Each structure stands twice: as C-alpha cells, then as structure tokens.
Chain A
Amino acid sequence: DAGITQSPRHKVTETGTPVTLRCHQTENHRYMYWYRQDPGHGLRLIHYSYGVKDTDKGEVSDGYSVSRSKTEDFLLTLESATSSQTSVYFCAISRVTRGEQYFGPGTRLTVT
C-alpha cells in the first residue's frame, strides 16, 4: 500500500463543465502520474509530475491540465468535459524505479 487516495471515487458530470480530480499521497514521493483506462487501450498517460510545480504532458494530454502545489497532492482538471473523457482515471506514484508504479483506487468519471 503506497498510501494513495483519489477523490472523488465516482462522478457524473455534464458536457462542458469543468471537473477536478484529486490524488493524495502520504509518502512524499517525487514522481506522480495520471492515467486513463479505457477498454482495449490499457493505461494511457495523461500528465506526470517530477516535483512541486514540475509537470509535463503524456500521451493523451489534450483537454486536461494538472497542478502540483504540494508534494502530496496532484490535481487533474478537465477544463470542459466531453463525452470522450468518460473513463476510469488512475493516479500513480513511483519510488526509485520509474517503471515500478503504485496505483490509487481510481475515479470513475461519466460525462453525459
């Protein structure tokens, strides 16, 4: 257990509204990641962070932004939600080996 929590765990929102998902870790790890999981696509990286205020884009970053003002919190914002962003979102951290990732419980987001 890497002490990762995500909130909310479930959310239904309407197209065009902004949505923020929160990832919180208790172990002070430097590296944090946001993924989305969709059937047939596995896990795809949205954004990642390698320190406070240090973030960068992943494979599927369009329509998403992130912020990290504290080591323990990594926020993912959908600026104007679309139905294509209906997905399960996972936050992850890595310790020393970046391929060795520890995932949170996920947030199921439905955009209607």
Chain B
Amino acid sequence: QQQVKQSPQSLIVQKGGISIINCAYENTAFDYFPWYQQFPGKGPALLIAIRPDVSEKKEGRFTISFNKSAKQFSLHIMDSQPGDSATYFCAASMEASYDKVIFGPGTSLSVIP
C-alpha cells in the first residue's frame, strides 16, 4: 500500500515530441505528489508538484495531470529537448507524517535530436 509504481522504466523521445511518464499509488492518505528530475552525478531536484484537490498543474513545458479516482498521476513534457534527458522520479507524501515520502523507481528519459 505504500508503493508508488512508475512507468515506463525508460523512454526515448524525439526532440520536439511529448514525453509522458505515469505513476500510480494505492494509499489514499497521500496528499502531495512531487516530481523530481535527476541528472547523472547530481542529486534529485524538485521539478513540479501537485495536491489532490487540483486535476492539472502546468509550469512552462511541464504539466502534471492528476486523476484522484484512478489514483494515478502523470508528467507531460511538451516540446521535449535534449537538455531534458535525465531520470525522473514521481513521489507521494503524507504531510502529517515525517517519513512518508515514497519515491517511484524512476524513468530514464532520452531526448534524441
């Protein structure tokens, strides 16, 4: 019940295309859903986040879509660029609990010219 599932494991997208990464969770107590971006040799960095009272959040080329009834959320990267090539992690947390930040296993994105 504490798992966050993420797919695909790896993704290759052409420059200018749309990258889509999907995540699913079981525990309805989760109330904060961030996405992290990690470049090789670096720590993960917070990219964008959403709360379950909102169905969509957009920041520049990055959009989170959230489906509360299906317990799913996804990251869309519009106009993907080679500089977006990185590993992306979805996560879920319960703000009332110190330790409950659960990360998905990650998606390795490669954007090819």
**Residues in chain A within 8 A of chain B (CB atoms):** 31, 33, 40-45, 48, 50, 56, 58, 90, 92, 97-106
Contacts and interface: CB of A to CB of B under 8 A. Distances in A.
Given A41-B105, A42-B104, A105-B43, A99 B99 contact: no
B99 A48 contact: yes
B51 to A, nearest CB: 10
Question: Dominant SS at the A interface?
Answer: strand
Interface residues of B, number: 24
Contact of B106 (A42, A56, A58, A105): A42
B99 A42 contact: no
B73 interface: no
A40 B98 contact: no
B109 interface: no
A99 B34 contact: yes
